[in-house]
Structure 1
Amino acid sequence: MFLKFLVPPVSKVIRHFSICQLPQELQTIQKTCRSFADRELKPVASDLDRTGQFPGDQIAKLADLGFMRITVTPEYGGSGLTMLALSIIVEELSRGCGSTGSIVSIHNCLYANLLNRVGTTEQKKSFFGKYSSSDIGAFALSESDAGSDVAALSTRAVEDGDSWILNGDKAWVTSAAEAKCAVVFATVNPSLKYKGIAAFLLDFENTKGLTIGRKEDKLGIRATSTCNLHLENVRIPRSNLLGTVNGGFRMAMEQLDRARIGIASQALGIAQGALETATQYAAQRIAFGKPLLNQASVQTRIAEMALKIECTRLLVRKAAVEIDQGLRATRSCAMAKWHAGETATFAAHNCQQIMGGMGFVKDMPAERFYRDARITEIYGGVTDVQKTIVAEHVIKELGVK
């Protein structure tokens, strides 16, 4: 695959990371993704959003480039890259199409990376081997009454001989309509709360008792499917337990750190797209005899957008590098997602303000940026949850009781 021969081992990328400049290998990846977004995503992003059509052709091309198993080891058909590389890829794709960025982010961060990190050799051979790199994997954690409160899961998993039987309903599953498989979280003992949660690999193919609900009609990222999963006496092999019986909660929390880097990168790409769109429009739009770009008020908005984007990019890359170095990055990931989500909304809002009425019509991408930005403050843990995580870590670090 393209990326196998593009970058050196993980350790070399990390060792040469600079806060000011990406190593040449990551610059090459960045340019490749930017070119792909300009050529393959920007021209179709509006139609995909309007129709809600899954970008299947684009995902297939991204898989050929090695972008659908970014952090998976080459042994299992992956590119063996870092979270930093994943972040850069998602940012650049989201600059062209927030929906495509979301699909790539969630598939890589929450499914492929988790299976590669925690799965047994047999599980990885089975699930990575059975499906191609363009096939989508999902992550089923949330429920209608258990979003941020993961310990409140009601989906049950019961042992039955050499099988597990799953019953319950999972909500807000991204790419559920297109997915071939998923990681599903369920409780094996509700009385243990978060200590009783386990994760299971679920193959959608020929699975009796699995029903995929209707696609939600969403405000933004409309080219992604978001559905409920209904599990009624779904029987899976005992070997499909991912990790340990009581290790599901910790596994989910560790994976959500990685997901927050992906979502923050998506938000960053949307914000960058908004900045570029606003600046290009302001350079062409004549008002009072001169381009809007010459007006101090417009320049102020552009400067504020640029500052927030630059701050976000540093936070996101810091969090990604911490993950790559094996550090506890929960605080950094929460900060990155919090700041990135607010930055995306801020940049999209100011893009619309600069463009005036043209920012409110579907002929221009500004209104799509605004709608796509909103989800980045919600999924993967709403902004209020990120603030709580940051506060708890700061209080603990300061030794205050």
Structure 2
Amino acid sequence: MDFALTEDQQMIQDMARNFALKEIAPFIEQDEENHFYRREILTKLGDLGLLGWSIPEEYGGNGMGWMEAVLALYEISKVHTSWRLSVSGNCWGPAMTINQYGTEEQKQKYIPGLVAGTSVGSFAITEANTGSDVASMKTFAEDKGDHWLINGSKMWISGGHTCDIGLLYAVTDKGAGAKGISCFIIDYNNTSGVTRIPIHSKVGMWPAPTSELVFENAVVPKENLLGPLNKGFQICMWMLNNTRMGCATGSAALSAACLEGSVQYANERTQFGKPIGKYQMIQAQLAEMKLEDEAAKYLVYHAAWLKDNNLPSQQATSMAKLYGCMAAVHGANMAMKIYGSYGYSTEYPCGRWLRDAKQFETLEGTSNIHMQIISGIELGYQPNR
């Protein structure tokens, strides 16, 4: 594996960095304070081709793969990690999954808007009493002959009340567990019986919308079933192996933001007549952060390389996601120490870094789940897909 960047990859990296600094950075404090989601950012990402990763060009894809995707997302997430959800919510979630399992009609109807950023995407798995145990979900889709009738609710859905198109996982064969779940494409703007409720009581990720979805006799066309009936669990696991790359990349980028900010502060802040970076304890803390940051980044690169080469990547993806969140949380903690009292002040971003870092420990598989995946594959108890 050679991770030396090509000229094209460097161009993508620079484009994403410049976009984030121009379009996202100036509004971070305002968006955080107001818990404000700016939809136009998604459209601008689409205009630059930054949502079409690993999607065929015939459906609007950019003709590039996973490595280019993580390079771009890393730069965006380093500026403000809330915006990494727009990539997963559009490209690595619905668009890529529809491309893999959808009919030609579904691909042509839904993918172009998702990669252009003119449609906002989402995917709904989690319920109030269903987290890590996906197969225990209760939302039920009843076959009514000429349509599906859906009842139930979903909780903690990223982009749930702001999206246009979403994937919904629901039970279609009660009592069959994982073998009785199916996946549906939901056109939220044209589906009656759906109530979308914003969730504002979050610790962090404030500009990233999160929602509760309630389905009460929601009518969904028969042709909106994605993939084979009762194969939704397999589709869900395939999708998560992709969307978790967003978590892995975002957490590694947040670790880098904590390191860069801490280095800058350590060179600017003086105590006892010299910069605090001259003191060995501060140097030791920065050394720890640098080690973890580099490890997290190259685990992401490795997983992306495996995906680009069509090699089994589930274990590598879980390793990148797990270690990335560990690096982000530790990096945010260390940054707050290095900044001292100012770290606890809203004048600096340490509080935001720590709030945003903690969500990586639960989003798209808790740290415990990823430890099980990693060890289960290593022990030979499950295949590395």
Q: TM-score, normalised by structure 1?
A: 0.91
Superposition map of 1:263-278 within 5 A: 263-278=247-262
Aligned to 1:14: none
Aligned residues: 382
CA contact (8 A) 1:90 1:105 kept: no
Aligned AA (2:205) = I
Aligned AA (1:186) = A
Match of 1:39 among 15, 22, 39: 22
Question: Per the alignment, do residues 398 and 199 of structure 1 end up closer, same or farther by CA in structure 2, a change over 3 Å counting?
Answer: closer
Aligned to 1:68: 51
**DSSP-derived class of the 2:312 partner:** coil
Superposition map of 1:200-219 within 5 A: 200-219=184-203
Deviation digits for residues 137-172 of structure 1, max 9, x if unmatched? 110011111111011011111111221111111111
Deviation digits for residues 217-246 of structure 1, max 9, x if unmatched? 211111011111111111111111101112
Aligned AA (1:217) = S
Aligned to 1:134: 118
Match of 2:90 among 96, 107, 125: 107
Aligned to 1:220: 204
CA contact (8 A) 1:55 1:100 kept: no
Which ranges of structure 2 fall in alignment gaps of 5 or more residues? none
Question: Per the alignment, do residues 43 and 129 of structure 1 end up closer, same or farther by CA in structure 2, a change over 3 Å counting?
Answer: closer
Which ranges of structure 1 fall in alignment gaps of 5 or more residues? 1-16
Aligned AA (1:125) = Q
1:313 offset after TM fit, Å?
A: 1.1
Aligned AA (2:143) = E
CA contact (8 A) 1:86 1:262 kept: no
Aligned AA (1:225) = P
Aligned to 2:370: 386
CA contact (8 A) 1:260 1:334 kept: yes
* Residue 323 (str. 1) matches residue 298 (str. 2): no
1:309 offset after TM fit, Å?
A: 0.9
Q: Distance in 2 between matches of 1:298 and 1:366?
A: 16
Deviation digits for residues 8-67 of structure 1, max 9, x if unmatched? xxxxxxxxx613x12222121111111222222222112211111002232222121111
**DSSP-derived class of the 2:361 partner:** coil
Aligned to 1:298: 282
CA contact (8 A) 2:42 2:117 kept: no
Deviation digits for residues 248-267 of structure 1, max 9, x if unmatched? 11111111111111101000
Match of 1:333 among 301, 317, 324: 317
CA contact (8 A) 2:153 2:215 kept: yes
Superposition map of 1:193-204 within 5 A: 193-204=177-188
Match of 1:86 among 69, 88, 93: 69
Q: Distance in 1 between matches of 2:51 and 2:112?
A: 14
Aligned to 2:359: 375
Superposition map of 1:184-263 within 5 A: 184-263=168-247
CA contact (8 A) 1:256 1:380 kept: yes
Aligned AA (2:149) = I
**DSSP-derived class of the 1:144 partner:** coil
1:133 offset after TM fit, Å?
A: 2.4
Aligned AA (2:229) = V
* Residue 116 (str. 1) matches residue 99 (str. 2): yes
Q: Distance in 1 between matches of 2:364 and 2:349?
A: 25
Q: Distance in 2 between matches of 1:168 and 1:48?
A: 32
**DSSP-derived class of the 1:79 partner:** coil
Q: Distance in 2 between matches of 1:105 and 1:358?
A: 33
| Range that drifts further, 246-255 or 39-48 | 39-48
Q: TM-score, normalised by structure 2?
A: 0.95
Q: Distance in 1 between matches of 2:281 and 2:260?
A: 17
**DSSP-derived class of the 2:380 partner:** helix
1:195 offset after TM fit, Å?
A: 0.7
Q: Distance in 1 between matches of 2:270 and 2:361?
A: 34
